[in-house]
Amino acid sequence: MALLATRQRWSEGTATVAGGAFPLTAKGSDVTGVPAALAIVGLAALVAVFAVRKAGRLLVSALLALSGAGTVAASLLGVSDSSALDEKAAQAAGDTSATVDALSHTAWPYVAAVGGALLLVAGLLALRYGRNWPAMSGRYERDGAARLRRTAVTVDPDRPEDMWKALDRGEDPTGA
């Protein structure tokens, strides 16, 4: 939600250029890039919280909660920020002191803040209950010990069941 909201129009206004009104708009990414960046960090942490164990899960959960809190704070600070529109007005007017008149804001910064709040809640839940969640299986991890090789059993190519049994043992029945 926060990523979607930062791509939307957060504010609009008019600048007086050559005696006429010139409409200007600013997207969330124009106002501040912080909510989008923290939302990406939060999404990565949300996935990683299930992949790590013990202290790593605690650390990733804290990162998830902090990225959610940062997204909320940056979004709410961006609600009243008019600097992006003032910069656009200065470019349009060719005058660095030009500002925007009739400034209005949309609800998208609040949507980004809600997305950040969801990340914050997910992080707090992971901090509280994460130690009780199952971890990813270590079934396919190598422990560094040498593996014993089995002796290959001859496979009769005319008997399909022998070929399937060889595949089950991890052998290549087509090898010579």
Q: pLDDT truncated to tens, each residue of the chain (176 aa)?
A: 888 998 888 888 887 776 777 788 888 888 888 999 999 999 999 999 988 888 899 999 999 999 999 999 999 998 888 788 778 777 777 777 677 777 788 899 999 999 999 999 999 999 999 888 877 766 666 666 666 666 656 777 778 888 888 888 888 877 65
Q: Are 80 and 125 spatial neighbours (Cβ–Cβ below 8 Å)? A: no
Residue 103, classed as helix, strand or coil, is strand
List the one residue out of 2, 144, 9 whose CA is nearest residue 88. 9
| Whole-number Å distance between alpha carbons of 159 and 153 | 13
